[in-house]
Structure 1
């Protein structure tokens, strides 16, 4: 019974207290921003705004614009005009580059076709016999390259025959 009386008494005391005397707690701490209790607000580093940089950048931009808009000596075109003329001439440069590139691609296609179908095509003389063994001589496994001494001998004989024919022709001409 005493527990029930105590609970009832505590409830009456709670209701009897004045509501205005209650301390309300705010979520903001007074130690972080107010100047009460002798504390200063912390310093805030504010960055310069974009308007500052636009304003400062306008000065060299206007000087550069003035510089390129001035005509050259003796009535020459402005620097901006010269630049526009270069850009308009790029069409001719690109046409030349494209023609060279197209010619290179056509030559590469011809060479590829020649190499893929060489056994079926007409006989093509080699400029030098070493063309068979192009590549690095380092890190070549044993037996990787075929012995081409008979090919070298064939082309050497062909070269000597050609030189003899030229010498005979020169001797007949003198």
Structure 2
């Protein structure tokens, strides 16, 4: 259902954008609605007027409009971005596939990673496609933790268990390590 709503959202956004573009082009070419086809948008007197004498606010207006256009374009490109997969296809062994919720896989990997020694927190994001998932893992390490040990624990038992539980032939992962901030101890 969510995929259908996302498609409807994108279609409505595209239609709204096209309508606004057509309206803007019509006003810019002065063919509608500002006085008819033969009436220009800016008169000769307005075009020949020096806008520099009117102060700084014209420049601020142009800069604000340019910023609004850039933000609208950024938002439009963000709408076209692919969302992360909602589920992972798991081979059941009888020729059929079951769907494993992506959030369940993320939570299971995060829970196992947080149980590792020296790991204060973990954030897991499922990437890729339904048939070829990948993980982006951010480990937050305690100040005393050894990064190599935490990474070995993640690459070994945690990812192996996730891969075998989901029945996946491969589960590529990208790990990012951060150390929690801590206060210095007082020496007395």
Which TM class, normalised by the smaller chain length? Answer: under 0.3
Structure with more relative contact order (C-alpha pairs < 8 Å, separation 6 or more) = 2
Q: TM-score by structure 1 length?
A: 0.20
Which one has a larger percent strand, Structure 1 or Structure 2?
2
**Bigger-Rg structure (1/2):** 1
Which one has a larger percent helix, Structure 1 or Structure 2?
1
Q: TM-score by structure 2 length?
A: 0.19
